[in-house]
Amino acid sequence: MQTRELGRTGEKVSLICLGTMTWGEQNTEAEAHEQMDYAFGQGVTFFDAAEVYPVPPRAETQGRTETCIGDWFKKSGKRDQVFLATKVTGGMGGPGGMDYIRPGRVCLDRRDIAAAVDGSLKRLQTDRIDLYQIHWPGRRVNNFGKRGYVHDADENPVPLEETLAALGEIIKAGKVRYVGVSNETPWGVMRCLELSGMKDLPRIVSVQNPYNLLDRGYEVGLAEVSIRGQCGLLAYSPLAGGVLSGKYLDGARPAGARMTLFDRWKRYMVPNAEAATRRHVDIARQAGLEPAQMALAFVYSREFLTSSIIGATRVEQLKSNIAAAGITLSEDVLRAIEDVQNDIPNPCP
């Protein structure tokens, strides 16, 4: 398994990160443990979770994913061999109705961050988290499928400086080693880097944002920030929720598949996405590749990428996704992919 440096920490993480958001909803704990066993055996030693998982988020299931991981650590004894990441729930900038996580306003202040990290440590059955991430900004931004930015002059988010200071406190307490952001914008990443340099606040080491063949928006602005600012991308949804496998083409809804069970991921099911997906599937098959593996190999090859987060509901899917790390795409395939991007640019935000 290839590794890449996390920011400028000197820490190496596996090119593939194991995503976990289905554990406790679509997957049982036993299935989660089977996935961790297999991934770890293949050299995937980077696991990513969140306090809000599993998805779709519900009060009845919140925290189950971290519990699955904690139970695996206890059973396997492999905690010290895994680079563990999780996230604190964001504020007003993301999905609403999450006050079940903490009473009162859920935000990114000192109180919430202190409570969140302690809850995660308990569920994960560990004394420290290697990478602690802000799941989404505390201000309203164009993420989670929104294209345009609409400024709200009346909002009152927790200042980034206060959030970074709170993260600094849990680092000093030994509960967290490094910090990162997720679902963030170029302004937000640059502001975090600026504040860390000006005020001796923690420096973010990663940006966990969506990136796939249907959504290459990260290349506009954030790719340069990742390279020059040494805070690489942790790409989530590299298969656009499974759409790039081709299994949803022509209105198909396979039993047990994410898009069949839930309607949260409509961003990847728009008409232009179908047209682009069909062309990518054809490119892969003409090159003798599995469509999902071609899509993943493209993401793995990006210079601004630190690690790509792959999730699966079945071990067979996980095996195929991990194997894609050994594929090098030909120049002909890369040119064909660029032709699709030029004809149907970023159909999914």
Active site residues: 53
Write the CB contacts of 230 (distance below 8 Å, at least 6 apart in sequence): 7, 8, 205
Rounded CA-CA distance 126/287 in Å is: 45
Integer Cα distance of 242 and 290 in angstroms: 13
DSSP state of 250: G
Q: Let me know: does 157 contact 107? Beta carbons within 8 Å.
A: yes
Which residue has tokens 């050994």?
326
Residue 164: partners with Cβ closer than 8 Å, 6 or more residues away = 179, 192, 195, 196, 201, 202
- Is residue 297 a contact partner of residue 327, using CB atoms and an 8 Å limit? yes
What span, in angstroms and rounded, lies between the C-alpha atoms of 103 and 92? 14
Pairing of strands 46-48, 16-19: parallel
Q: Which residues make Cβ contacts (< 8 Å) with residue 147, sequence separation at least 6?
A: 349
CA 331 distance to own-chain centroid: 28
Report the alpha-carbon distance of residue 260 to residue 252 in Å, rounded. 9
> Residue 173 is encoded by which pair of tokens?
């307490």
